[in-house]
Amino acid sequence: MARFTLVFGLLVTLASAVMACGSDEPEKNPNFMTGSGGAGAGGSGGGSYDCVMEPTTHLEIINACTDAVRIEKHPELPPLPQ
């Protein structure tokens, strides 16, 4: 009986571990639009955005559309010492 309990416990643990593992790839969202548009480029012209129009997950919230102005920075960093 002890052997059966041990084997059953191992099988349940293995099944739980397999079911808990998921894909690291985010789901494809039709609300995510990519393109060269910016914060004000999508008005009446129908341009595309680099953001999610209707975010529902935490990854989409990070990439949600805002009224923020995009600032591109190109810092000139010193080389790392060797």
At 51-80, the pLDDT tens digits run 888 889 998 898 888 888 878 889 999 999
Round the average pLDDT of the chain to a whole number and report it.
73
Residue 65, number of CB atoms within 10 A of its CB: 16
pLDDT given at position 79: 92
Report how many domains make up the chain.
1
Q: Which two three-digit tokens encode residue 37? A: 């548009």
* 41: containing domain: 29-68
Residue 61: inside a domain, yes or no? yes
Question: Per-residue pLDDT for 3 more than 50?
Answer: yes
For the stretch 18-44, pLDDT in tens is: 666 665 555 665 555 555 444 444 444
Whether 12 is covered by a domain: the verdict is: no
Query: 51 in a domain, yes or no?
Result: yes
Of 65, 66, 58, nearest in space to 27 by CA: 58
